[in-house]
């Protein structure tokens, strides 16, 4: 006797998109139960740890939100006239450059991105694949010894050389705040309430500044900790050599004057590397360098967490562009002077 065909399970698929930009925002929030049962079980029992996965923006990072906001606001305010040829010029260590390269390509504009030698080769290749012209700064600024200062000087030179070119200036443009106020609103909606702690890596301070705007507007009690690189000059930091792109700054960005984090956690490069690998070993997440720094900062503050609190780690991007650096044992040994055995021992110590 013929058996009836089994019913197909209900399929919940997202609606098709009409444009790339419709896939920016509304990124997942992951409950990090394995971190809770391992690292935080001893440091902060009973807390809920969440990861905001900004790698699921259409272009792979939180900077998709920033780039879209910069461009849309410039169009709304008449800074960009789309009826004329448009050339954007911007300094970036990586993700903002890729995000603006996509925005320019989608709109038929030219884009020049100024990078330095710390920028990952995969990032440069991605920008060029999108049609961007990449300008490589080969020496740090002679006055400060800083790469960002050298990049910004190169941007100024290009603006003089290219008639009608436009710099949207991610370091001073408050459109970034408005973009990331929405990021914080998403987090609050996903958690079901305002989280007790938020850890965010900083460079331009646009992401944490936007999150703080929403926190302040909603009168939430969230403690937003800015995660910075040791050697960055943000919020009184002392300048020193930094190897990892994606967080930290060698020049104080104008946006930071409007940002007041609860605290600043300065993370050395090797701690970011170890914590990034811990995320990979526990949650299957392979974050970029700043994501490792974010977890390292949360581990540092964990003794202050209380039972039943919600702790959110904002992870700006994935680690696909970092395979030759923070996930490469030879690179870590050569540049951070830490052997594979030492890195592994630190991972196991964190997980014990």
pLDDT digits (tens, 9 = 90+) for 95-131: 999 999 999 999 999 999 999 988 888 899 999 999 9
Give CA–CA dist 22/189, Å, rounded. 19
Query: Residue 122: in which H helix or E strand, if any?
Result: helix 121-129
Supply the DSSP symbol for 342. H
Name which of 21, 26, 33, 107 is nearest 64 in CA terms: 21
CA-based torsion, 288, 289, 295, 301: positive or negative: negative
- Phi/psi of residue 251, nearest 5 degrees: -130, 135
Residues 6+ apart with CB under 8 A from 142: none
Task: Look at residue 135 and tell me whether its pLDDT is greater than 70.
Answer: yes
Q: What is the pLDDT of residue 28?
A: 98
d(CA 66, CA 231): 25
**DSSP letter assigned to residue 223:** E
Contacts of residue 41, Cβ cutoff 8 Å, sequence gap at least 6: none
Any long-range contacts for 4-12 (C-beta under 8 Å, 24+ apart)? Answer: none
The number of helix segments (H) and strand segments (E) in the chain equals: 12, 9
pTM of the model: 0.93
DSSP class per residue in 150-172? HHHHHHHHHHHHSTT-B---TTT
Q: Is the pLDDT of residue 1 over 50?
A: no
- Listed in sequence order, the DSSP H helices in 118-261 are 121-129, 147-161, 175-191, 206-217
How far, in Å, CA of 193 to CA of 207, rounded? 20
What is the pLDDT of the chain when averaged over all its residues?
Answer: 95
| 91, β-bridge pairs | 114
**What 3-state DSSP class applies to 80?**
coil
pLDDT for position 10: 77
pLDDT tens per residue across span 182-211? 999 999 999 999 999 999 999 999 999 999
> Using one digit for the tens of pLDDT, what is the confidence trace for 256-303?
999 999 999 999 999 999 999 999 999 999 999 999 999 999 999 999
- Residues 180 and 62: their CA atoms lie apart, in Å, by 9
In tens, the pLDDT along 298-352 reads: 999 999 999 999 999 999 999 999 999 999 999 999 999 999 999 999 999 999 8
Report d(CA 300, CA 296) in Å as an integer: 6
> What sign has the CA pseudo-torsion 260, 262, 268, 270?
negative
Domains of the chain: 25-57+174-351 (3.40.50.1100), 62-166 (3.40.50.1100)
Residue 307 makes CB contacts below 8 A (sequence gap 6+) with 45, 46, 47
pLDDT digits (tens, 9 = 90+) for 42-99: 888 899 999 999 999 999 999 999 999 999 999 999 999 999 999 999 999 889 999 9
CB 105 within 8 A of CB 131: yes
CB atoms within 10 A of CB 278: 23
Most distant CA atoms of the chain, gap in Å: 87
What pLDDT shows up at residue 7? 59
């Amino acid at each position: 006797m013929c058996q009836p065909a089994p019913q197909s399970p209900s399929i919940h698929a997202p609606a098709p998109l009409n444009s790339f930009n419709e896939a920016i925002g509304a990124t997942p929030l992951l409950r990090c139960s394995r971190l809770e049962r391992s690292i935080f079980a001893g440091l902060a029992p009973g807390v809920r740890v969440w990861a905001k996965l900004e790698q699921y923006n259409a272009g792979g990072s939180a900077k998709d939100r920033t780039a879209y906001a910069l461009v849309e606001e410039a169009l709304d305010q008449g800074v960009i006239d789309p009826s004329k040829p448009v050339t954007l010029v911007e300094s970036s260590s990586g993700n903002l450059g890729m995000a603006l390269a996509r925005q320019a390509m989608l709109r038929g504009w030219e884009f020049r991105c100024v990078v330095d030698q710390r920028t990952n080769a995969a990032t440069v290749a991605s920008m060029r694949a999108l049609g961007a012209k990449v300008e490589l700064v080969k020496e740090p600024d002679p006055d400060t010894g800083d790469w960002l200062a050298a990049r910004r000087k190169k941007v100024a030179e290009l603006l003089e050389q290219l008639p009608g070119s436009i710099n949207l200036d991610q370091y001073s443009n408050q459109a970034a705040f408005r973009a990331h106020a929405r990021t914080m609103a998403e987090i609050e909606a996903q958690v079901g309430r305002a989280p007790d702690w938020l850890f965010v890596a900083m460079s331009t301070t646009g992401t944490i500044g936007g999150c703080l705007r929403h926190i302040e507007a909603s009168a939430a009690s969230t403690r937003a900790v800015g995660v910075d690189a040791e050697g960055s000059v943000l919020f009184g930091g002392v300048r020193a050599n930094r190897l990892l792109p994606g967080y930290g700054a060698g020049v104080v960005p104008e946006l930071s004057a409007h940002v007041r984090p609860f605290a600043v956690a300065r993370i050395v490069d090797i701690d970011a590397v170890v914590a990034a690998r811990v995320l990979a070993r526990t949650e299957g997440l392979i974050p970029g360098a700043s994501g490792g720094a974010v977890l390292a900062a949360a581990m540092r503050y964990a003794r202050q967490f209380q039972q039943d609190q919600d702790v959110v780690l904002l992870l700006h991007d994935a680690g696909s562009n970092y395979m030759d650096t923070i996930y490469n044992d030879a690179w870590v040994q050569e540049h951070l002077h830490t052997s594979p055995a030492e890195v592994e021992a630190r991972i196991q110590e964190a997980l014990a």
